[in-house]
Structure 1
């Protein structure tokens, strides 16, 4: 469960870290390589034709109690996205009650009158996927994608918490979730730059303005929330007449209406909520604020309040912001980063809310450059853009990228950004489920003149200026300590109403697309699966390299090489490559893992031929121009310096070396070692590309709406004649894994003033990542693999010390280490490690896996399979991981039988053979003055380390 994300602060990175690796595949067929086609047509598809591809047909009806229902039929998979949106958010909170909307979002997952306990229990029992809840300024939503046979039960669940919640809401639940939310706030605040957004809202919007305070609220208001307060909040805002229910997927409106009437029809109307009005504030002057925090480089920021979603100006500002600083080819990027090299990163864009918007321009100053110079130049470029406006070509590229993103989003029915979200946003905010069409048509009609007029009107007003400088932030404002057992007087809950919980119907099994194979004339293998839901081709060119290919004294070489592939190639400059990607609506990105270096292409199938031309140029003809090498080196070093200040990255950079030893290939982390990156030469980069990024070290994976017979000739034309260079292909040297320690140790990194401690524990295991891991990974799931795991239930849901705790095996090709990640409030650091240790010991000895846990994990892993492979991106990840781990194409089709064959005793034995409670190395990043005394009480040796 999440609140509205804070504005992203610009932190330069060494490379684009990449893609997901969920995994599935099935049967194999062969395909023959065809003849190369004639010269390709390089003209992109017209924008108007792309806009026409974005279509979400839907039916809207309303129940007598006021519940609005939107239904979209999509039969591609046996799943239905169920998304419930309440027309209330943090902008509707009165003074002194900030954070209530988000707090109540958490409480809505803690059980209802007819479904006691955690709602995640019921969702996992039916194999739901993509389930969560979020709160923003303007709405609160709850969503899940359910197997079609479980739709009745999921609708019952949503209706029970809409109409039958108060009888299950207790003081204990309120106190627990208050603690969870406060730890969510600490977790966000603890990050470098985590306090900036509070200053933005507080200074841009005057006191009393609905957008003056953050969605997560203040510690003081959260402390003051009483049970009576939250009960009143529910009564006032959670009636059916203040909600929109969207069903998208394997269902028609005819099928949906009687189901919705059955489960929601008897719920009584609530008070009429009229969302708070909010004008765009006008000010004759705005302050300049200097903040200090643990950042590697000074960040210059400008903020303007602008019109919101329902104003046509919003779309114009969106597109103009992309041209100014959102696209890779943007004006600011080209001037400040590429040409003048004054900044390592820039951005500009419009963050749109229902009533208002927030336009921002930001630049991260290149280390060694005077921030005043960057500030002056940034303001000059902004003024120039306002004066001259964009070109038609710039707008066309920006619009194409935006429409291409919409088309990609059409493949998913639910989740955080699928079709259900587009329909719900329009219905809730504009009273029109087809509002997305209006936005796209407006986007396609934006002209340079419109941008010029809009920018001149809204962005010549005084901005809020913030400069975030390296330094120590002020003391953190902590929550008050609530006495144990404190209970405020609550309103009288309604009498409990018993409802019959529906049974789950027949659930469909996984129907994974057929896997086909082909081979180019130079031996490059192609693994393919077809998905026809959207006209998109997803492709991965995977090289057997990864960070493990870096020599021990050249950590960061692989990342630098990948980052430079599209920074100039085949006679095209970095700017020209960026522009070409944008006009095609294509995405070319790189991803690195310990074992593989991958270049990804996501192309509109209508523009596949020219997109492949560009991919060929980037892969086969990188320039590694000296000026670009130095620019990317600076970005990489700034990214590393920032990682050395972020608590999560500090821990993740230190732990691998402690586990493997400094010289092991898997000890390489993140963007690499700063001293090594400083010393890299152009010759090093070229040599890495020649040894590792070559056709005899490459495998191609494709998921497309186009058949393989149409794709192979196009791939043959671009890559079939690519020959390996004369230099020997690279090889990786893996020595035997070190012996696990016989006793735990703690490595403490002092980060003064941290309101939270990041705990990261790890150990090497004897698990074979290429073997049968179903049993041991299932046992790990019980311990820490999901929301209902033992350690998350303990530290989050029972004790309220953390926003979330997880553990898992990291499956590398040659090792499977085990990690536990636990960000906890600072004053509970020692107790949290003790609790984690105790939970593991209990699981391995006296409190083994229970029958209920086994039943739930089988349902969660078997019944959810169809939903987990809804998108082509998920299928692509499956093809890649099956290759990495040497699995057969039908691997995931065999899983249901394997899961159903598990036993509690077998799970216990598998985890005992893999994990040793005494072998953990614990890295703790926190305020040593508060944390060290707690750690000393544990009886483990404690040593102090510096960020690496």
Structure 2
């Protein structure tokens, strides 16, 4: 379970469910793509008209609201259960309890007493989790259609039959897990900022006066009486909503919902606390210091909640001010005056209240007072002038396009189930999204200006975050002073079953229907891989080039990343601002990346706007300007990003570990993002040479997933890329001939990061595994027993048994020419040595005497087969699978036939694959933490310990 970051989702997006909401689309005829010389962006009203989520709603006699949306594109169903209770409903002294209880709800119920993730894997569930915020708690999973009845049984058991399974031991364990979740967030650069924002804007006793994660002291005080009272008062069926979205109708769903939820008795209904929108008496300014790379200036205003009539206008205004790529702040502070390396703005709304925010991160060397002065001036100017009609249309079109791009997903953090549930629970209307879109389609600049004037002229809270030693000290839990005997004392409480409710059988297996992949060539010789998916009117195009960060020369790390980022910063005919504005008018999204082995340009376009979107992509790929001023600006941004990595625990660990695992001279040794020195030394000539060697038609291939037929796609691509020819320069080559020698013995490298409440453990080794080999899949499933998922041994030990970590994972890092195995474990600082000892012991025993069990094999194989339909629900997932198949030389039907490979696996085959790959005696362990606390613990482990300071910025 996790709490989503609370300041990352706009109000409109939150109203729709997520930052990339998933809404169904009305079927649209396959009209031919417009010719290039007549193509124009589709009208906004036409795009809005495509958005529709038909549903049926009914209410059980016990008050449970049920909403059903039918989507037959895949044999899966999203099951979402939302409870009308969040952290704003917690009594004084019990902060964090709603979220703690969410964790307990995954620890078993009376008829399903094991960890719920076990039952979810048995069903082949995907996209499963639970979250808590100020206003609600939700649980969700997407399951194969044959497992729907089992999923309803499972959700109803924890709604109606939980308390008999909640024990003091489980409470103590999950308290520890949540406290480590808090430490993990607090340990990040700027991790204490949100506490200050909430304290300043919503002073006690306001219902929103504390964050959902709560305080250590209040978490320490949570008792079994609290658990029982909270469940009885807040988790009744008449305080909940169940949404089913996918391969099910209301007629099919109703008898199943009545069977499993109908007998649950009513409880009290939580009346969400009223919360006025507070107004500061005067402007407030606070300065904080932390391990950040550059000064950031954030301004915050209190604002109305999601049902306020000005929600959409405020959201669009924030997008125009600092949310769009072409925003006012971006254009002035980042592009023109180059006072900042990044800016942002957003409208973050909850049920009762919201926060408007604008932010700028100063370019190193620029006085923060100058950045703050200009930020204030630009906000005032925007309020006084208001937006243009074009700005409003671009913001609205971008929002609608983001929605349509998510049309396929039924569940997860932002699918159709979430959209309907959030509307019902927070706005008393499952179709709330439609009301907002109606406003969006006709929104005027005057409405946006009036809303911004009303709320951004009130007193604000300014928070300046400066580089330096963190101010103040961490709040720590009482448990760190207890002995292990104190924590583990007492026998487990017995399970009490109030009513026996046997699990319904899963009588069949849903089969994956992977779309047919067709291959052809464009006029310029580039290979085209194409699959048709017609669930939404969108087209995804990836141009993939055989480059990636492994193409960087050893003395020029970061060249590929810097070069790629410049392709969107201006062409020979368009400025970076014009590129951003054009993509927003089209509702197009062009992302650049690709990883270690490939450099890619991925276009996500509305099919109605495909030709002009492809023209924009072609201009970016073929005609980058590489303007010296843009190079300097982007270089400064990337250097600041590198400096921030050098202060972030996970990034410090990865940068330190890579050359130790692969060998310093390996193309995979990185750092992929480069160093300050390497980025500073790169010239325009280096960037141009990178393009000529690597980004060329004879070094690339194209992947497309679209609702349009192949012939139209070929015609459109030939129209914009057909005459693209390779330059005269020689094509680039990479060298993997001299494989580095693996480490001969295990050791520990301790990176001293002062004042860290957690340590970040990163272990790894290079393996002999071939990603194209027949045993690769056996290795993956062996790891699913050791470290690959929630139920794997490493996580269950350190999280669910010990309570020392929020989560542990072991995973292969699979590249085209090397596979490393890594273990990553953020753990509380006082248990660092104990945790590392457990990781070493658990891994060693798994490879020696305690290999994969029959129970693990059955669970893993069942989950892998059952998850296949859900894994490939979206066009984006299909696009990624096609690229993986091409990279590793797999057949087009690889994911359809892999189920047979899973069924043939045995405990012996998995053990053999793991033992051939992993040698625990050659692991290198990197530990990032406070050496004054951690080093004495590590010295007890019998391994050599090398202590280093955090890397400098060179």
Q: Output the TM-score relative to the length of structure 2.
A: 0.95
1:16 paired residue number = none
CA RMSD of aligned residues (A): 1.7
1:479 paired residue number = 477
1:335 paired residue number = 332
Question: Are residue 414 (structure 1) and residue 411 (structure 2) matched?
Answer: yes
1:921 paired residue number = 924
Report matched runs for 1:92-491 at 5 Å.
92-473=89-470, 474-481=472-479, 484=486
Determine the C-alpha separation between the residues in 1 that align with 2:552 and 2:932. 37
Determine the C-alpha separation between the residues in 1 that align with 2:284 and 2:492. 43
2:669 paired residue number = 667
Instruction: Indicate conservation of the 8 Å contact 1:41/1:610, yes or no.
Output: no
Instruction: Indicate conservation of the 8 Å contact 2:340/2:361, yes or no.
Output: yes
Deviations along 1:861-895, whole A, 9 cap, x unmatched? 11111111100000000000001111111111121
Question: Are residue 557 (structure 1) and residue 559 (structure 2) matched?
Answer: yes
Determine the C-alpha separation between the residues in 1 that align with 2:266 and 2:374. 56
2:78 paired residue number = 81
Question: Are residue 851 (structure 1) and residue 851 (structure 2) matched?
Answer: no
Question: Are residue 803 (structure 1) and residue 801 (structure 2) matched?
Answer: no
SS for the counterpart of 2:574 is coil
Instruction: Indicate conservation of the 8 Å contact 1:4/1:215, yes or no.
Output: no
1:573 paired residue number = 575
Report matched runs for 1:830-841 at 5 Å.
830-841=833-844
Instruction: Indicate conservation of the 8 Å contact 1:228/1:491, yes or no.
Output: no
Determine the C-alpha separation between the residues in 2 that align with 1:666 and 1:693. 20
Aligned-pair distance for 1:489? 15
Aligned-pair distance for 1:662? 2.0
2:831 paired residue number = 828
Instruction: Indicate conservation of the 8 Å contact 2:753/2:950, yes or no.
Output: no
SS for the counterpart of 2:478 is coil
Determine the C-alpha separation between the residues in 1 that align with 2:528 and 2:584. 27
Determine the C-alpha separation between the residues in 1 that align with 2:192 and 2:162. 34
2:534 paired residue number = 532
2:26 paired residue number = none
Determine the C-alpha separation between the residues in 2 that align with 1:841 and 1:222. 35
Aligned-pair distance for 1:518? 1.3
Question: Are residue 3 (structure 1) and residue 6 (structure 2) matched?
Answer: no
Unaligned runs of 5+ in 2: 10-19, 21-31
SS for the counterpart of 1:311 is coil
SS for the counterpart of 1:80 is strand
Determine the C-alpha separation between the residues in 2 that align with 1:377 and 1:281. 27
1:776 paired residue number = 779
SS for the counterpart of 2:625 is coil
Determine the C-alpha separation between the residues in 2 that align with 1:485 and 1:648. 29
Question: Are residue 868 (structure 1) and residue 865 (structure 2) matched?
Answer: no
Determine the C-alpha separation between the residues in 2 that align with 1:197 and 1:489. 39
Instruction: Indicate conservation of the 8 Å contact 2:753/2:949, yes or no.
Output: no
- For 2:818, which of 815, 834, 855 is the aligned residue? 815
Aligned-pair distance for 1:456? 1.1
Instruction: Indicate conservation of the 8 Å contact 1:110/1:119, yes or no.
Output: yes
Report matched runs for 1:492-531 at 5 Å.
496-531=498-533
Report matched runs for 1:721-800 at 5 Å.
721-772=723-774, 773-800=776-803
Instruction: Indicate conservation of the 8 Å contact 2:33/2:611, yes or no.
Output: no
Deviations along 1:659-700, whole A, 9 cap, x unmatched? 222221111223112101001111110110011000000110
Task: Assess, with a 3 A threshold, how the Cα gap between structure 1 residues 141 and 512 changes in structure 2: closer, same or farther.
Answer: same
SS for the counterpart of 2:832 is helix
Instruction: Indicate conservation of the 8 Å contact 2:33/2:607, yes or no.
Output: no
Report matched runs for 1:905-920 at 5 Å.
905-920=908-923
Instruction: Indicate conservation of the 8 Å contact 1:759/1:824, yes or no.
Output: yes
Q: 84-93 or 664-673, which moves further after superposition?
A: 664-673
Deviations along 1:767-803, whole A, 9 cap, x unmatched? 0112121111110111000000000000000000000
Aligned-pair distance for 1:5? 1.1
Task: Assess, with a 3 A threshold, how the Cα gap between structure 1 residues 665 and 4 changes in structure 2: closer, same or farther.
Answer: closer
Instruction: Indicate conservation of the 8 Å contact 2:107/2:115, yes or no.
Output: yes
2:17 paired residue number = none
Determine the C-alpha separation between the residues in 2 that align with 1:95 and 1:737. 60
Aligned-pair distance for 1:283? 2.2
Determine the C-alpha separation between the residues in 2 that align with 1:661 and 1:387. 58
SS for the counterpart of 1:310 is coil
Aligned-pair distance for 1:944? 2.1
Aligned-pair distance for 1:494? 7.6
Determine the C-alpha separation between the residues in 1 that align with 2:383 and 2:490. 55
Question: Are residue 896 (structure 1) and residue 918 (structure 2) matched?
Answer: no
Deviations along 1:354-390, whole A, 9 cap, x unmatched? 1111110110000000000000010000000011110
Instruction: Indicate conservation of the 8 Å contact 1:41/1:609, yes or no.
Output: no
Instruction: Indicate conservation of the 8 Å contact 2:561/2:673, yes or no.
Output: yes
Task: Assess, with a 3 A threshold, how the Cα gap between structure 1 residues 766 and 4 changes in structure 2: closer, same or farther.
Answer: closer
Task: Assess, with a 3 A threshold, how the Cα gap between structure 1 residues 830 and 716 changes in structure 2: closer, same or farther.
Answer: same
SS for the counterpart of 1:619 is helix
Instruction: Indicate conservation of the 8 Å contact 1:227/1:491, yes or no.
Output: no
Aligned-pair distance for 1:37? 8.7
Aligned-pair distance for 1:625? 0.4
SS for the counterpart of 1:945 is strand
Determine the C-alpha separation between the residues in 2 that align with 1:422 and 1:574. 34
Which of the pair has the greater relative contact order for Cα pairs under 8 Å at 6+ separation?
A: 1
SS for the counterpart of 1:913 is helix
Determine the C-alpha separation between the residues in 1 that align with 2:400 and 2:37. 23
Instruction: Indicate conservation of the 8 Å contact 2:36/2:612, yes or no.
Output: no
Deviations along 1:403-442, whole A, 9 cap, x unmatched? 1111122210000001111100111111111111001111
2:610 paired residue number = 608
Aligned-pair distance for 1:7? 3.0
1:54 paired residue number = 51
Aligned-pair distance for 1:497? 1.2
Instruction: Indicate conservation of the 8 Å contact 1:306/1:356, yes or no.
Output: yes
Task: Assess, with a 3 A threshold, how the Cα gap between structure 1 residues 487 and 238 changes in structure 2: closer, same or farther.
Answer: farther
1:598 paired residue number = 600
Aligned-pair distance for 1:39? 3.4
